[in-house]
Amino acid sequence: MLDLLATVHYEMQDLPAAGALWFVLGRDDEVAQRSISAWLEQHRNDTARWHSIPGPVRRTASTEQLEGLRRAAVQADKSGTRDIGPVGGPSERWEGIVFGGCAITVVVWFLAMVGIGMWTVFRWIWD
């Protein structure tokens, strides 16, 4: 499935995205090497490369290449302030906030609709 996604990225001329996925898969043909080179050029350090791998791939894929990149990213992060674990990407930090905000919005909307409905029904009954 990842190979298909990488192929779609490649066909869309997004070589770095295709290269990141083909790196994880360990693909080593000419097209993959060109894409991986574009990925390496765009993301010049191991931490940036680690975070450029999609979060679901980092969490679920278990390949030698990905594990090596994770170890290199942990070593490269000398300050210790950045979470390099499988769910440590910068965009993933917002997932909980966005999900929680959406959930609260839905609950508030639902309660407002129930309140408006009850008020409308009571006006029909007592008018």
Do 12 and 45 form a contact (C-beta atoms < 8 A)? no
The Cα–Cα gap between 85 and 92 comes to 11
Whether residues 77 and 61 fall in one domain: yes
Whether residues 60 and 77 fall in one domain: yes
Other beta carbons within 10 angstroms of residue 56's beta carbon come to 11
pLDDT of residue 81: 43
Whether residues 62 and 105 fall in one domain: no
Whether residues 11 and 65 fall in one domain: yes
Whether residues 44 and 77 fall in one domain: yes
Quote the crossing angle between the two packed helices 64-76 and 15-25, to the nearest 10°. 110
Give the domain range for residue 19: 1-84
Averaged confidence pLDDT in the chain: 83
Q: Is 13 helix (H, G, I), strand (E, B) or coil?
A: coil
Whether residues 29 and 1 fall in one domain: yes
Return the minimum-mean-pLDDT range out of 6-10, 48-52, 83-87.
83-87
User: Tens digits of per-residue pLDDT, 53-111?
Assistant: 888 888 888 888 888 888 888 887 765 545 444 444 455 566 777 788 889 999 999 99
The Cα–Cα gap between 37 and 88 comes to 24
* pTM for the whole structure: 0.58
The CA-based diameter of the chain, rounded to the nearest angstrom, is 78
pLDDT of residue 33: 93
